[in-house]
Amino acid sequence: MSKAKEGPILAPTFLFRFSVPCFYTKKKWTKKGISLEEKHTLASFGELEGRPLFASVKTGWNETGIAFEVRVQGKKQPPWCRESRVDDSDGLAVWIDTRDTHNIHRAGKFCHQFIFLPQGSGTGLDEPTARMVEIHRAKESPKTIEQSLLKVRSEKRIDGYILEAFIPAKAITGFGPSEYSKLGFNYAVVDRELGWQTFTIGPEFPIGEDPSLWGTLELVE
């Protein structure tokens, strides 16, 4: 039997804390969603360690909230989404800490997790889904919101989908760009067929519950 190839003890991205600009947008959410510009495209630093790159992820902000646009390509199967099982579904997960705190390992009241699915709701399970969910092992939770505050829109494509989402300011505890211009941040585009595309390190680390593993979004006007 050949000797197994040994990999690095730590993922390369684990050794760095990534900070990227999140540019201002004058656009507002409408029934047609929101279309962000190329400058709003986010990096996937997981690519540095050979992780899959199958989605374009954009984000922009203004005083009314934070918007996301995701384009998933390369699929041969429809996404698997269930409103009753958002944690297991294909879609976009976003983590936000409005105090950009990296020295804690359990989420506090300024830490949020939002999940957006391209489908999974409605009688035919073909309508998009948006939820704020509790973070596992959190010490405190952000304020409770009406889930209807979250906006989401999706379009089917032959090889994937487009997903647009908006988190209004009043759904984000502590959101105040004029005073706190940096957000602790992480994202994961999850797909049963294509894998995980993450902002930095992957799901082998507790990225969904440990804010010290998140990067930073710098809110730039």
DSSP string spanning 75-118?
A: -SS-----GGGGGGSSEEEEEEETT---S-SS--TTEEEEEEEE
Parallel, antiparallel, or unpaired: how do β-strands 160-168 and 182-191 relate?
Answer: unpaired
pTM tops 0.85: yes
Average pLDDT, the chain: 91
CA–CA distances in Å: residue 99 to residues 50, 163, 177, 182: 31, 27, 11, 7
The pLDDT of residue 202 is 87
What the block records as the tokens of 43 is 């990096």
Question: Which helix (DSSP H) or strand (DSSP E) does residue 153 occupy?
Answer: strand 151-157
Three-state secondary-structure class, residue 170: helix
CA–CA distances in Å: residue 97 to residues 54, 100, 113, 214: 26, 5, 9, 9
The pLDDT of residue 45 is 77
**4: pLDDT confidence band, cut at 50, 70 and 90?**
very low
- Is the pLDDT at 50 greater than 50, yes or no? yes
The pLDDT of residue 66 is 98
Average pLDDT over residues 180-196: 96
Say if domain 25-220 classifies as CATH 2.60.40.1190: yes
The pLDDT of residue 10 is 54
Average pLDDT over residues 194-221: 93
CB 36 within 8 A of CB 56: no
Comparing 120 with 5, the larger pLDDT belongs to 120
Instruction: Give which of 221, 219, 210 is closest to 101, Cα–Cα.
Output: 210
The pLDDT of residue 12 is 55
Comparing 108 with 46, the larger pLDDT belongs to 108
- Is the pLDDT at 7 greater than 50, yes or no? no
For tokens 């009043």, the residue is 170
Q: Where exactly are the structural domains of the chain? A: 25-220
Burial 47-70 (b: 16+ CB within 10 A, else e): eeeebbbbbbbbbbbbeebbbbbb
- Is the pLDDT at 189 greater than 50, yes or no? yes
Structure confidence by residue, pLDDT tens digits, 194-205: 999 999 888 989
Structure confidence by residue, pLDDT tens digits, 110-157: 999 999 999 999 999 999 999 999 999 999 999 999 999 999 999 999
* H helix runs in the chain, sequence order: none
- Is the pLDDT at 216 greater than 90, yes or no? yes
